Structure formats: C-alpha cells, structure tokens
Amino acid sequence: MTADESGTRIAQVAPTHPGRRPQAVLRTAAHSNQNMATLHEKNEDSSTPRCAPADAAAPKIRNVLVVDDNVDAADSLGALLSAWGYDVTVAHDGPAALAALQDTLPDIALLDIGMPAMDGYELAAHLRFQPGCEDLPIVAITGSGGPEDVRRSRAKGFSAHLVKPVSAASLMTLLK
C-alpha cells in the first residue's frame, strides 16, 4: 500500500493472468475528496455488511460496485456515480472485484460482460455465493444488446441489461 502527496492510499494487485498489467482497486467516497484503495483492508466494524435485496421495498442504494476491464469506462462511470453521491468501488476484472468485497459489500453491481479471465456471467455467479449477496441486484453494462444477449443475461440472473454507451438518464432511473 502506497500513498501519494495528498494521502490518497493506492494498492496494486498482481496480474490475474500472464501478460496483463497489475490492477488497482480504487474506493471512492462520495463524502470525501480523496480516492482510497481498499483492497485487503478488513472492515473495522465487527458486523457483517449486507447487500440490499433486489426485492426490498424502496432500498436505499448507497454502495455501487462497477467492474469493467476498460479502465477509462470503469473509472468514468465510477467518477460520475461518485459525483452523484454514491460510494463507488471500481475494479477492472473479476478477481479484483471479489477481493474488493473484503471492505464493503455493494447494494448494486454494474458489470461488464466481456472481460478476460472472468467474464461478467462468471463474476455474477461468484457474487451470488458471497454471504449477504444472494439477492444483490446485478446489472449488465455491455456493448452487446441483441435479443439473445438480453435473454442470456436475464437467464444468468442479471436484474437489468444496459447497452454502452449508457445514458445518464438510464443510470438515474436504475439507481432510484
């Protein structure tokens, strides 16, 4: 774990497969001006964080997990959501996303489908096995939006299927 001049903590994770560069998981806090890396830090609170159930009456979405191997897309979406007041965890691959759950479990997950090493379908299945995330709303954000793509994401347990580029209005509607 390193820190820059502003005190922002940055952690790097070893590459998930040969030939790829190390991944960083950044945790952005809407109530803070700093980005904090929270990869292997344990939650100080002794209670287990819980994910919001998909069918809860008007759940308050606060924590958003964004996973996309396109670094610019993931970081831009994370910055937008953070500016809107959400606490956002951004990861650039499935293993890094699962490691980030050690700190805070999300209320919703926004996943790219076409990622190397672990695609969005596999990541969604892994998320479902995390304690407290069995009913986590998981949203596909992908470049593929044909009828078969939408059918497959629904069959794999995704709550919604959005096609890139995603409009701000679509995101706002989804997160309400």
String of DSSP letters for 10-33: E-EE--SSTTPPPEE-EEE-TT-S
Is pLDDT larger for residue 109 or for residue 54?
109
The residue ranking higher by pLDDT, 40 or 29, is 29
Residue 148: predicted pLDDT: 96
165 preceded by cis ω (within 30°)? yes
pLDDT at 30: 42
Taking only the tens place, the pLDDT of each residue in 107-153 is 999 999 999 989 999 999 999 999 989 999 999 999 999 999 999 99
Packing angle of the helix pair 71-83, 168-175 (nearest 10 deg): 60
> Residue ranges per domain, the chain?
49-175
Distance (Å, rounded) from C-alpha 11 to C-alpha 156? 32
The pLDDT score that the predictor gives to residue 58 is 46
The domain defined by 49-175 carries CATH number 3.40.50.2300:
yes
**What pTM, to 2 d.p., does this model score?**
0.70
